[in-house]
Amino acid sequence: MKTIRKALGAAAALALMTFTLAPAPAAQAALASRVLETHATSDRVLETYATSETASFWVRMADKADLSAARKMMNRTTRGQDVADRLKSTADRSQAPLRKLLKAEGLTSKAFWASNAVYVEDAPESVAREIAALPGVEEIRPSKTYTIPKPVAGQPAATAETGLAWGVSNINADDVWAQTGRRGEGIVVANVDTGVQFDHPALVKQYRGNNGDGTFTHDYNWINPSNNCESAAPCDTHGHGSHTMGTIAGDDGAGNQIGVAPGVTWIAGNGCPGGSCPDTDLLAVSQWMLAPTDLSGENPDVSKRPHIVNNSWGSNPSDDPLMEDIQLAWAASGIMGVWANGNEGPGCKTSGSPGSRSINYSVGAYDANNKIASFSSRGPGQDGQIKPNISAPGVNIRSVHPDGGYVAMNGTSMATPHVTGAIALLWSARPEYARDPDATRVLLDLSAIDTADTSCGGTAADNNVYGEGRLDALALIQVGATGSSTVAGTVTDAGTGRSVAGAALTITGPLTRTATLGTEGTYSFSLVAGDYQISVTAFGYQTGTRAVTLTKDGSHTVDIALVPTQRVDLTGTVTDGSGLGRPLPASVVADDGKGHRWSADADPGTGAYTLPLLPATTYTLTYTTKEPGYDPATRRLDLGETGQRLDVGLTVNLACTASGYQVSRDGSTQPFNGTTKPKGWTVTNVDIGIPNYDHQPGWVFKDAGKRGNHTGGDGGFAIVDSRNSGIGHIQDTYLTSPAYDLTGRTQAAIELAHDLKPAVNSTATIELSLDGGRTWDAVWSVTRFPGAPGPATQVVPIPQANGKTGVKFRLYYQGQLSGWWAVDNAFVGDRTCTLAAKG
C-alpha cells in the first residue's frame, strides 16, 4: 500500500508541478494516478500493483437505472421486461467508454447490466489508471469470495425413513395444505446455492425442466457459471443447495414429506460451486434470475424468472452493501429474496451481509423445542435495524442429499427455505401478493409468533434474537386473507396542541402492539385488518382512548389529543436551619419517581421558590443550596389538587465551613510534630505472607517522599507513602491511637486533616474500638478511592462512643505502589458547629 501510494503520489506531484507546460498525456496520467487512489476503495487493488504487474478487479459505474415505474405494472412479464430494459440501457450507455478502452487494450472482461459493473482481468497498472479517470466510474474494488454459512454438518438419515419433517409440521405448513388445498402450485422458486441434484426422487417431479416424458430441458431452468458438472444437467457436488431446495419443495411421493411447498416448480443457479461463492458467479446467477437464458447464455426471457429466490449464503458478521443494486432490481421486478442471517451466534451483532441489510428479509434458526439455536446470528444489523427479521426451524433438518438419500443438517441455511416455502404457499393461495414483496414482508411480520428475548436488544415482540418471532405458515395465510392495514397519528396536548413526548400507547384487537412515543409524539403500525382500541397514557394527562376499524389495504390516521390533569403550584422558602435563619440561594428539584422532573431556583435574597403547575401526585423534593457548607435536604410530599407550601431549613454540614459558623472542639488532638511515633500510638505492619515481598514501610513520621504537608495542618505529619515505597513493597499497615475516656461526651467525633492521593488499588479505613482495642468496627472506608487532595478535612461522627471509656481509633491503609495517605491534627472528642461570635 505504502509503495504504490508513494509511487503514485510522486508521479502526481511531478505532473502537478509542471501541469501548464506538460503535454496532455502526462497530465492525464497524473490525474489518473490520483483518481485510482480515490476510486480503489479497497487497499488490496493498490497493494496488488506493489507486487504484481497486473491485477483483476471490478469497475462499478455510478449511473443507476430508475426502476420505480415497474412497481406499478400489473402484468408480470411487462414488469420484468421494463426492469431488464432499463438496467441494460443504463449499463450500455455508461459502460461504453470503459468497454471501448478494454477492447483497445485487448483485455478480457465480463460486463453485467444488473449491477452496472464490469469485471476486468489481468489489467496492468497503466490501464487501471486510465479506467479510474474515465467519467462515470464510481468504484474500483477487488473480487471477493463468500461462503455457505457453517455449521452445515449433519447426520445421514435413513432412506427408508418417512413421514412429515418436524420443521414442516412446526410451522403448520401441513395445515395450510389441508385447509387451502394449495401446496405452492403456480409458483416458481429458485436458489442461489451450490447447485441442485435435479434427479433426486424428492425433487425431480418438481423440476421445471422435467418434460414429464422422461426427458428434460435445462434451458432457462439452470445456470452454472463454473461449469463444474459432468453434463449440462443441474448437479450439486457439495450438497448444501440440494438440501435447501428439498426443504422448499421436496416430496418423493413415498412418504418423505420434507418440503414446505411441494407443489411449486423449481429452477436453480450454481453461485457457490463446492461451497465457495465467488462474487463473479454470484452476480452472474443473480442477473440470470431477472431474465433466465438458455444454456448458451442467449435469448433471455423475463417471463421465466422465478417468483422467490432462496439465498443461504453470505459474509461473516458485516453490514457491507453486497450487490445491493441486484437486490433492488429483484424487488422492482417482483422477485422476493429470502436470506440466511448467518451462523456466527450466540454473540450479538453477528448478522452477516446481505442478510444484515435493511432491504433484505433474513432468517434465524430455532430447534424442535422452539428455542433459538446457539449458532444463529443475532442483530442488530444495518443502522441498528432488528435482525433477523423472523426465525424458522434450523436444527436437525432432514432433507435431500445428492446421492439420492437424505441427511440432517443445522444452520440458518436450513431455516431460510422454510420461509421461502411459506411465501410460496401464501402466493399460491393468495395470488394478489405474488407481485408485492413489501406487503408480503408485512404479512410475515404480523403472523409471526412473538418470542421474547431482549438479550441483544429490541422488544419482546420484535428482537435481535428471534426477530418478529417464529414462522407460522397457517397464520400467514390467514392474515393474507384478512389483509393488512396501517394506522398512524400524533399524540398532542389538548390545550396547547404541542406533541406529548414519552406517552405510552397500546393498541389492542386482532393484534396487540405497544410503543413509547418520542419527542414528536408520533406512532405508526402495520396491523391485520379489524377492529382496534387505542389507549394512550402520559404523565400529567387523562388517559385517551379511540376506537378504529382498519380496512384491508387501508391507511388510517388517528390523532389523539390528551386532556391535562389538574395542575397546581408548589411554593415555599429555603433558609438556614442551623441558627442564622437567613434565606439561601438553592435549586429545588421535584421527581415523581417515574422519570419526570421539574426544577426551580430559590431567590438569593428571599429564599422564595415556585414550582409552577405540577401535576397532582407524590414527589420527592431535593433542596441543594448554592452556598457552600450546607447539606442537601429531601422531602416527600403528596401534592393535592390545590396549591401547597413547603418551607425547608438546611443544616450546616460536619465540615462547618458555612459562613457565620465556627467549629467548637472539646477533646484530644495529636499534631504529629515529631519524627517518631507519638507516645501511646502504635504502628502495626501486617505480614502479608507473600515470599520475597517486604511489607515495610508502613506508617512513618518522616517525609521520605518529600511530599510536604498539604493536609491543612502545619509542621510534621504521619504518612503511609505507597508511591515512594518501591515496587517490592506492599502496605498493609495500622496507625493506632491510645485509649481515650469520653465520659460526659455527647457529640463525639473523629476529625482528621489529611491529604489522600487517588489510587486504583488501595483502601483507606478508620476503625473504632469501644473496648480498649479488643474488637474493631469500620466507621469510614473508601476502596479504589477517588481521593481527597489536601488540604481536606474528614469528620466522622461516633455517637456510639458517647460516655464510653477505653475508646481507640486506628487508621488502616492497604496498597502497593499506588498513592499515599498523609494525616495531621487527629482529634477525638466532642465536636460541634456553633454560631460564630458577632463580627
Q: Report the alpha-carbon angle 733-737-738, nearest 5.
A: 140
At residue 147 the predicted structure's pLDDT band, cuts being 50, 70 and 90, is confident
Between residues 612 and 190, the one the model is more confident about: 190
Between residues 35 and 598, the one the model is more confident about: 598
Q: Which is nearest to 588 in space by CA: 563, 610, 569, 618? A: 610
Residue 2 CA to residue 599 CA, distance in Å, equals: 58
Q: Cβ(420)–Cβ(310) under 8 Å? A: yes
Tell me which residue has cell 473480487. Answer: 143
pLDDT of residue 23: 27
The region of weakest confidence among 545-549, 750-754, 774-778, 788-792 is 788-792
3-state SS, one letter per residue, for 535-603: EEECCCECCEEEEEEECCCCEEECCEEECECCEEEEEEEEEECCCCCCECCEEEEEECCCCCEEEEEEC
The percent of residues in the chain predicted with pLDDT above 90, rounded, is 74
Between residues 263 and 727, the one the model is more confident about: 263
Mean pLDDT of 308-331: 90
Which own/partner contact pairs does 126-130 have at CB distance under 8 Å and 24+ positions apart?
126/29, 127/101, 128/36, 128/45, 128/49, 128/55, 128/57, 129/29, 129/32, 129/33, 129/35, 129/36, 130/32, 130/101
Tell me which residue has cell 478502452. Answer: 101
pLDDT of residue 33: 42
Mean pLDDT of 743-756: 95
Q: Is the pLDDT of residue 15 over 60?
A: no
pLDDT of residue 543: 93
Q: Is the pLDDT of residue 365 over 90?
A: yes
Q: Which residues contact 585 (CB under 8 A, 6 or more apart)?
A: 574, 601, 602, 603, 604, 607, 625, 626, 627
H-type alpha helices, 430-547: 437-447, 473-482
pLDDT of residue 221: 98
| Residue 708 in grid coordinates | 510536604
Q: Is the pLDDT of residue 10 over 70?
A: no
Residue 589 CA to residue 264 CA, distance in Å, equals: 67
Q: Read off the pLDDT of residues 651-690 as tens digits, 9 standing for 90 and up.
A: 999 889 899 999 999 999 999 999 999 999 999 988 766 5
The percent of residues in the chain predicted with pLDDT above 70, rounded, is 90
Residue 594 CA to residue 404 CA, distance in Å, equals: 64
pLDDT of residue 499: 94
Q: Is the pLDDT of residue 741 over 50?
A: yes
Q: Is the pLDDT of residue 13 over 70?
A: no
At residue 837 the predicted structure's pLDDT band, cuts being 50, 70 and 90, is confident
pLDDT of residue 729: 64
| Residue 414 in grid coordinates | 436450513
Q: Cβ(84)–Cβ(105) under 8 Å? A: no
Indicate the average pLDDT of the chain: 89
Q: Read off the pLDDT of residues 701-738 as tens digits, 9 standing for 90 and up.
A: 999 889 899 999 999 999 998 877 654 567 889 999 99
At residue 18 the predicted structure's pLDDT band, cuts being 50, 70 and 90, is very low
Phi/psi of residue 799, nearest 5 degrees: -60, -25
Mean pLDDT of 428-438: 92
pLDDT of residue 691: 56
Q: Cβ(130)–Cβ(35) under 8 Å? A: no
Q: Cβ(411)–Cβ(387) under 8 Å? A: no
Pairing of strands 597-602, 608-615: unpaired
Helix (H, G, I), strand (E, B) or coil at 280: helix
Task: Identify the DSSP state of 156.
Answer: E
| Residue 346 in grid coordinates | 450466540
Find out whether the peptide bond into 417 is cis, omega within 30 degrees of 0.
Answer: no
Decide: residue 582, CB within 10 A, 0-12 exposed, 13-18 middle, 19+ buried. Answer: exposed
At residue 594 the predicted structure's pLDDT band, cuts being 50, 70 and 90, is confident
Phi/psi of residue 503, nearest 5 degrees: -65, 145
b/e string for 295-309 if b means 16 or more Cβ within 10 A? eeeeebbbebbbbbb
At residue 12 the predicted structure's pLDDT band, cuts being 50, 70 and 90, is very low
Q: Which is nearest to 247 in space by CA: 80, 110, 414? A: 414
Q: Is the pLDDT of residue 495 over 90?
A: no
Pairing of strands 406-409, 397-400: antiparallel
Residue 111 CA to residue 116 CA, distance in Å, equals: 8
Q: Is the pLDDT of residue 163 over 80?
A: yes
Task: Identify the DSSP state of 32.
Answer: H
pLDDT of residue 690: 57
